[in-house]
Amino acid sequence: MAPGPNGAHAAQTMSRPQMTAPALNLSQPVNLPLSGLLAALSHALDLVEGQPEGHCVRCCWIGIHIGRALDLTDAELWDLYYTLLLKDLGCSSNAARICQLYLADDIGFKRGVKTVDTTSVPQALKFVLTHTGLKAGLADRIRAIVHVSSKGGEISRELVETRCQRGADIARRMRFSNRVADGIQNLDEHWDGHGLPEGRLGEDIPLNSRIALIAQVIDVFQSTGGPEAAMKEIRYRSGTWFDPRLVRTFEAISATPGFWDMLRSSDLQWAVFDLEPAQHVVRVDEDYLDDIARAFAEVIDSKSPYTSGHSERVTIFADLIAKELGFGEPQRRWLRRASLLHDIGKLGISNSILDKPGALDKAEWDEVRKHPQFTHDILSLVAAFQDMAPVAGAHHERLDGKGYPHGLKGEQIVTETRVLTTADIFDALTADRPYRAAMSAEKALEIMDGMVGTALDPRCLDALKRVLGSLPDAKAACRDPIGDRRN
């Protein structure tokens, strides 16, 4: 991502996609700064946690200032930088479980719990009572409250362990050091040993984790109550949640002229780019870009047990269709990335809707229909993915103009999107869903035949049929192209 004052405002503005077919830039830029790429993608993690846009970027600004004040080396600051940007990498993995246990909107739940001192019994109990089963029947709500109240410690440990372990694993797959992964894995440990999941005490907690936790709380409280609220909260938790040295360090930093103004500035993202020590800048080539897309596909698919492996399977089907249609390798590689990330917008939709076993009401359906626009908006923030944003963001558009989110029609929908839509529908039909079981490949193709000319391009569906028919064991391949069938 090439920084600049004009680009900053353009990148941070979420707008409607163009109603015309994009000119595809298949010569993807190489040697992109890793910092810019991941700062932009961190906005997707903000969605899952219910935080205002730019939360991870603001945490990075806060945390790096603390690290500098502690005289960390450039190498240590580099690891801290990415710990802060990626601290929420595992955040999607416990969303479904939160909905199941608390009968709650996971996004609202996560937003609310970040304002609570969960080690305080009165605060924790009040939170449970005000966030559990609000839309459930009385009997179900009471059962849920009794269950989570009686097993609160066990449940909290499970949720935190799932989140932090998954985040650390994904960080390692993105080629980050053990120091970054450990920083993410121990994010919820507290200075007094009452944190989770292991109850690590004092300096046994990695410094990156200690800094990331205090930075997170500072941003949550300053976003809702201003600097005074943030300072009051970290002083209150000093010695329990936080290393007192870090609290004292931040008190000095917070008095620096312009610190809070920059934290709330539209230019913050560019200021954060400048924080990374220049000698440790990492450039992203094509292979690394593929790895990052795969890693975020895992974040996406971890949000629901019904979408496990969905992005990977859609990518495989789309690539097979594209090859059959004669796409060249650069175009296929480009489309594979778009396919891996096409559902990144679903990170902003509650699992109480995504995993609902019954029919959605109008308000819920309206929420689901937002996810392609979220996809477009997030990918538009990433220089390397800007060209694919309107393609991936249009995967629910229809040739007859009855799709969403913008009702694109006919030639307004480019071939790459038509391929992606075909792959997406096929995988959705042949996968388990909360409201129905998976159907056979034959039945799925029969249904898709009825969608030709209205939702589907006949060329793409014919290509899919030819590909499936040419596989050695077509039925098995349709049913389970890459392993886990539960989608």
Q: Give me the active site residues, please.
A: 346
Bridge-based pairing of strands 32-33 and 283-284 is: antiparallel
| CA-only gyration radius of the chain, Å | 23
How far apart CA 199 and CA 188 sit, in angstroms, is: 9
The DSSP-derived string for 344-390 is: GGGGGS-HHHHT-SS---HHHHHHHTTHHHHHHHHHHTSGGGTTTHH
Is the backbone peptide bond immediately before 227 cis, with ω within 30 degrees of 0? no
How far apart CA 276 and CA 281 sit, in angstroms, is: 7
Q: Which of 287, 304, 301 is nearest to 355 (CA)?
A: 304
CB atoms within 10 A of CB 355: 20
69, 73, 78, 79: CA torsion to nearest 10 = -90
**Of all helices (H) and strands (E), which one includes residue 422?**
helix 415-429
CB atoms within 10 A of CB 476: 11
Cα–Cα separations (whole angstroms), residue 335 to 138, 302, 313: 48, 22, 13
Residue 88 · residue 217 · CB < 8 Å? no
